[in-house]
Amino acid sequence: MCQPARALRGSNLMSDTASYPRGGAARPGAALAEIPLETLHFEDLGRYLLLPMMQRVRVARQRAGELLGGRTVWMVNSTALGGGVAQLLRTLLPYWKGAGIDVRWMVLRGSAEFFRVTKRFHNHLQGQPGDGGVLGTEELTTLDRAALCHAEALASLLSPEDVVVLHDPQTAAMSVPLERAGATVIWRCHIGTDHHNEYSRNAWRCLRPRLVGVRRFVFSRRTSLPEWLGGAETSILTPGIDPGSTKNLPMSYGAARATVQHLGLAAGVPAAAPRYARTDGSVATLAAGPTVVDSDGPPDWGRDLVVVSLARWDRIKDPLGILDGFVERVVPATGAHLLLAGPDAGQVADDPEAEAVLAGVRERWRRLPPRARARVHLACLPLTPPEENAAMVNAIQRLAAVVVKKSLQEGFGLGVTEAMWKARPVVASAVGGHLDQVQHRHSGLLVDDPADVAAFGDAIVELLRDPPLAARLGQAGRERARALFLNDRHFVSWVDVFGAALEPRAGANRSTGPGAGVPAPLGPGAAALDPADHDALTGLWNRRRFENELDRARQNTERLALLSMDVDRYNEVIRRHGAAAAEALIQSIAHVLAQRLRPNDTLARMGGDEFAAVFPSATPSLIQSLADGLCTAVREQTHTTGTNSIPATISIGAAFFDAGTQTHHEALRAADAALHEAKVAGGDRAIVHQSLQGA
């Protein structure tokens, strides 16, 4: 069981405890690991950043001090090694420290089952079937239980008003308990799809109720937003690279050649152990070597043109498609070689599919005809120590004739950014962030159909046969990376995100009437809402529209949770303060509920002092946590009606029902039965029945 964590003053983090998957505990050291960060300064990047860039950074640094003074910013993700998110945090957060921000980096620890579930989310959000499994009740229960333990552990470290930035679906379900603990929660999603399908829509349906604690959403591209999320609470933030990091520092041809020779990826033996420049200005000797090399004999990089792919072993990165396109189109047309390289699959903690994907690539390589196999080379690079891995990648990218990224879907694609910064010509699939980085035939080549292996191979051949074109695209790519994708812009954009999350909106008043997330009430001169669908007092859906939407939801989801909510002692409010004050209280409570339930838009006023909401793909622990949070929010809110301030509480009953066999009338009766229990128990509480039979 999770051990209780030290909560914030006055917080009500959890109403219960949950078992951590595979026996883990909620202690910070068991559920989370803190990654140490060094301190770096933007002034050290003066040779890369132009004067206007440095001026933007100085202004942003001053604003960050005003916004974040006295607060700690907690960055939370699922791995310290492997993948773009870990790379972003490792290389960019030290500059935040140097800018005076108190930032800490925490990494989730989880069971194999937890990472299996989150990998499935990762695939489905990008519109891919992944392992072919579903996101059902068992998977969502695994996600929610782990989230409660992770959130408990983090809450024991928080101070009031801290900011927590959660990264990607692995952390999404932490938003509700952390928001209840008093943190300002920002959710940063690095993945998505350009065109939603049944996989992505279902994954977003599952995540939606788990994101109601989020104050601000951050995506890399607007096309990645789910269809239900509006732009008002969302920021679009382009990632960036650190030009002063080991991976991106200048490296001489001799040092790069010695490095690939040391790795066994190039013919010959280095005259001396390869050395590389480190971020702190020192020089180190490379000691580590690859953990896997499949090659019938390495190429001579001084004579042979080598096409390079550097990416995680992930089906979405399509390593088999790269291999097939190279063998089918490049091998017959040129004498070039292909290096398919990625991280040591066993060192990427949050990707349980990596080893299977790598095994498939190695098997395909072994079955190639000897002539083709001699031109294709596979390598796994160790991720530790991180600076040695960065030096290996730097050397390989700098020697590449062409760098390729053939992702079937892509969040942003920092591998493209790195290659552009090194002035290497790029061939990339026209998906996701590749479209933002590469201007076709100006700073690289884009292939319209990511599944078209022939077109991909032909684009590589074009660059290999036309060195002037390759050089022109590479140089244009470097200048584009300098202007748009370095960490100065990334820092400035993040300060804007913090401002959007922390600075009160002009004219906002949380204590009266509907606001963001709640339609304005109908009235003379107001923009008309359809009175057939909306409640005139609150602007929320009315009973008729709610029941219609509930029936529609039953057709799309097998299992739903229904919340029935009622204001405690409402008749006493009418008697003591009058009908007008009672109506103002209903408006205020409607506003609080809508704010807490965003981005859920099924909240309805059923009449009088009764409200209801429906949640697909929810688990009992999630609904209990959400409902407890609603009770707390209404209790703690100041409900101002004219010159009076009226204290108020609500009671909530919740029930789950099988959409395929039970009607919405049965569900409403079950939720009302649970609500009655909450009222009898004294009110100001939530009771959840896990099935209709439990009612």
Q: What is the pLDDT of residue 661?
A: 58
Residue 542 neighbours by CB distance under 10 Å: 19
H/E stretch holding 85: helix 84-98
Separate counts of helices (H) and strands (E) for the chain: 23, 23
Residue 390 neighbours by CB distance under 10 Å: 23
Q: What is the pLDDT of residues 109-123, one digit of tens each?
A: 999 999 999 999 999
Q: Give yes or no on whether 253-485 and 543-694 have one common fold.
A: no
Q: What is the CATH number of domain 543-694?
A: 3.30.70.270
DSSP 269: -
Residue 583 neighbours by CB distance under 10 Å: 15
* Partner residues linked to 604 by β-bridges: 541, 612
Question: In the CATH hierarchy, which top-level class contains the domain 253-485?
Answer: alpha beta
More confidently predicted of 598 and 692? 598
What are the DSSP calls for 217-242, one per residue?
EEES-GGGS-TT--STTEEE----B-
Q: What is the pLDDT of residue 516?
A: 33
Q: What is the pLDDT of residue 621?
A: 84
CA distances from 294 to 63, 347, 381, 672 (A): 51, 19, 12, 64
Q: What is the pLDDT of residues 230-242, one digit of tens each?
A: 777 899 999 999 9
> Judging by DSSP bridges, how do beta strands 275-277 and 283-285 pair with one another?
antiparallel
The closest alpha carbon to 127, from 204, 188, 189, 187, belongs to 204
Lowest mean pLDDT among 28-37, 122-131, 175-184, 500-509: 500-509
**Residue 236 in contact with residue 220, Cβ under 8 Å?**
yes
Q: What is the pLDDT of residue 184?
A: 97
Q: What is the pLDDT of residue 28?
A: 54
Q: What is the pLDDT of residues 521-569, one digit of tens each?
A: 433 333 445 667 888 899 999 988 888 887 777 666 667 889 999 999 9
Helix axes 467-484, 414-421, angle to 10 degrees: 110
H/E stretch holding 692: none
CA pair distance 48, 493, nearest whole angstrom: 19
Does residue 2 have a pLDDT over 50? Answer: no
Does residue 664 have a pLDDT over 90? Answer: no
Structure token digits, residue 216:
């601000």
Which SS3 state, helix, strand or coil, does residue 402 take? Answer: strand
> Which amino acid is residue 479, in one-letter code?
E
Q: What is the pLDDT of residue 616?
A: 81
Domain boundaries, the chain: 21-242+493-502, 253-485, 543-694
Look at the block and give the residue holding tokens 């803190």: 34
> Judging by DSSP bridges, how do beta strands 102-108 and 163-167 pair with one another?
unpaired
- Dihedral sign of CA atoms 625, 627, 631, 633 in order: positive
CA pair distance 148, 252, nearest whole angstrom: 49
pLDDT (mean) for 621-644: 85
Radius of gyration of the chain, Cα coordinates, nearest whole angstrom: 27
In the structure, what pLDDT confidence band is assigned to residue 5 with cuts at 50, 70 and 90? very low
pLDDT (mean) for 496-509: 71
Looking at domain 21-242+493-502, which CATH architecture does it have? Answer: 3-Layer(aba) Sandwich (3.40)
More confidently predicted of 536 and 261? 261
The region that residue 513 occupies, defined by phi over 0 for left and psi between -120 and 50 for alpha, beta otherwise, is left
Structure token digits, residue 154:
């983090």
Task: Say if pTM beats, i.e. exceeds, 0.95.
Answer: no
Which residues have C-beta within 8 Å of that of residue 109, sequence separation ≥ 6?
Answer: 24, 30, 31, 32, 33
Q: What is the pLDDT of residue 20?
A: 31
Does residue 508 have a pLDDT over 70? Answer: no
CA pair distance 3, 6, nearest whole angstrom: 10
